[in-house]
């Protein structure tokens, strides 16, 4: 059975991992006979949002603790994760990918990857493990490729011009895609999909994520 690390960065679209996307990833993996291993960094989120009001609140929440809500408690700290025990990696979207797992939302192409996630992804890439990023998470792969000295890796954010430009500023190639498509870069074993950057409902979302997970496991 293939083991796939699912990297979470909180719980909730506005301040953590997008719940529909994360659950769709877990469902797609289970339906294809793969075991999901949920991972998250420990430490405070960049912000905490009241999702009912759509406004920030003065609270501090821990990424690992919040991610454990999605994982139903079965979660491991990213700092302790062993790449050699995994066959592939998936990073769902949600603003946690751009606020907690990286600082892309604040600085764009000048972004940095979270201090626990960067060496984990670097080790996975160098070991030839396929990596998938969804929704707003693909800039993390664009930055990773830049750090690994790669130019022209094929990635998608869907069709958002600003985010695509930032990824290209990192030296990579943006490929436009619809909500139900996945972009595969077989040379670098990368899979990306727009997810809720374009999906209009959870059914369309799942169709695209299911396709991305198919491609990931094929690699």
Q: Give catalytic residue positions.
A: 135
SS3 content of the chain, % helix, strand, coil (to 5): 40, 20, 40
- Contact, 40 vs 8, CB < 8 A? yes
Please state whether beta strands 55-56 and 49-50 pair in parallel, antiparallel, or not at all (unpaired): antiparallel
- Which residues lie closer than 8 Å to 153 by C-beta, 6 or more apart? 141, 142, 145, 172, 173, 185, 187, 188, 190
Q: How many CB atoms sit inside 10 A of residue 31's CB?
A: 10
Q: How far is CA 160 from the centre of its chain?
A: 17
């Amino acid at each position: 059975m293939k083991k796939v690390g699912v990297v979470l960065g909180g719980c909730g679209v506005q301040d953590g991992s997008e719940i529909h996307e994360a659950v769709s990833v877990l469902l797609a993996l289970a339906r294809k006979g793969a075991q999901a291993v949920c991972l998250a960094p420990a430490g405070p989120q960049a912000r905490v949002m009241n999702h009912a009001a759509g406004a920030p609140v003065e609270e501090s929440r821990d990424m690992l603790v919040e991610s454990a809500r999605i994982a139903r408690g079965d979660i491991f700290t990213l700092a302790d994760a062993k790449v050699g025990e995994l066959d592939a990696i998936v990073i769902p979207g949600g603003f946690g990918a751009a606020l907690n797992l990286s600082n892309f939302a604040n600085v764009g192409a000048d972004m940095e990857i979270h201090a626990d996630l960067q060496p984990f992804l670097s080790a996975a890439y160098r070991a030839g493990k396929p990596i998938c990023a969804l929704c707003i998470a693909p800039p993390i792969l664009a930055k990773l490729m830049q750090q690994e000295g790669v130019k022209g890796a094929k990635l998608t954010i869907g069709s958002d011009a600003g985010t695509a430009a930032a990824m290209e500023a990192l030296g990579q190639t943006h490929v436009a895609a619809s909500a139900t498509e996945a972009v595969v870069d077989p040379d670098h074993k990368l899979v990306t999909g727009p997810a809720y950057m374009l999906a209009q409902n959870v059914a369309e979302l799942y169709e695209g994520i299911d396709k991305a997970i198919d491609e990931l496991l094929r690699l």
